[in-house]
Structure 1
Amino acid sequence: MRRSQHLASGFTLMEVLVSMALGLLVIGAGVTLFKTATNVTQTALSRSDMQQNARGALAIITRDLTQASIGIPQAGIALPTGGAGNALAACGPTQCYLTNGVYPNNLLAPVVPFDAQGANNTDAITIAYIDNTWPVTNKPVSTISPNGTSITVDTNTYDSSGNAAPAPNGKTYNDPVFGSRVGDVLMIFNTNGYAVATVTAVGANGQLTLAQGDPLNVNQPGAVAGNVRSLGYAACPAPNQAQLCPSTSAARLNVVTYFTQINPGP
């Protein structure tokens, strides 16, 4: 009697295990390649963003450097001495951003560090130039308080070229967009010299307060030299007693400090 044989179809357990192992290897390799490609793409995007930011920052720095010293003395402006300490650099209305950030030799130069003024091995640079957007830039100052803690500027309206013009083209010293603000740095000058001051309050009728204790520490009425009081103003003889002698003017400055700051990672 012949016995029939039936062969079992399908895979053995060993074949299934080997197939699964090979499949997992292929999937793992695919995931690894995908992750690597994602990381490379993210790195490329981060580098591109960093390069774009660097180009933007350099463009802004270049813009300010090309305007350095416009409208201010080439040799710089002497800051207050013999008073309440040194003037401070890189300070905003609420904080200072550089440790021991002072102006070398107490001089606001067009570019700090200036030629032979301060160390060259620094990552901080300060640039100063006149701000022509202030409506009363280079216009007369009519009064200075006896201790130099306030001035009265022109209250007329001027266009962007500094010519007298009625509103709305003409702007005043306290225009909400272009006018004086707390924290503005002013250059006040006459034939006796120059002084730098910070606006601490904007009042009516052209009055700007320059009170002591400003963030830059340039408002020092008690200083021996370099303050507003040291400009040597006096009332003009008749018939111009309402003016200052010598004739005094004011301008707003852009004082910009660039520095490198390393932010720690998360």
Structure 2
Amino acid sequence: MLEARGLHFGYPQGPRVLAGVELRLEPGTWLAVLGPNGSGKTTLLALLLGLLRPSAGEVRLDGRALHAWSAAARGRRIAYLPQNGPYPPGLTAEEVVRLGRLPHLGLWSREGPEDEAAVAWAMRVTETAALADRPLAALSGGERQRVLLARALAQRPRYLLLDEPTNHLDLHHQAALLRLLGRLAAEGIGVASVFHDPNHALAARRAVLLEGGRVADAGTPEQVITGAAFRRVYAGDVRVLRGEGRVAVLPRWAEVEE
């Protein structure tokens, strides 16, 4: 599993960002990470990736300390879709997706049938095959987001971390993404996705709610997304509606009866 044990982190001369976070991501599980701005969601992903080192605690990957793995070995196991780029200028969509195979190839190895199959599969499931020859810089924000997701999937990772993956996506592609993440988890990939919209988190199997750098609640999405918890964490600015086995989260200004 990919595991955070008592993670603490703070930037130099800055405030504490995380304090004692415990988290476990197992293959075959989809975990949604929720919380307000500044609660530590993106920093947590950076620590799980090894892009940052914790000031205390540790991250373990498949039973070993994360820093004991080489960057290439981590890249073969963990893929990442950041919230906003960066993306390589001047490349076509397919060339960008092929970059996902670098952890498996190194800089000088030639692609083989396995690499070709991984790229084709990633572009098919993200509905980007029709964009293959178009420059990435010429794509819309939503198209670019889907290509960058395809690049992450081309790694064929054991764990997939996504920071606001529904950014720039229209309603059709939001729904398609949520279905895809469910399929990936069912196929054995450990998925952790940060969402600002808690309604998207309802599709996941597990959820954690961060508040002030700590885990405020953890469990199934239905257990975590409650009126009491969200009124506390979001200063009373949201309402959680339940009925007929469904949950909806709305901003407080929405004129809907609870």
Judging by fraction of residues, say which structure has more helix.
2
TM-score by length of 2: 0.24
TM-score, normalised relative to structure 1: 0.24
- Greater Rg over alpha carbons, structure: 1
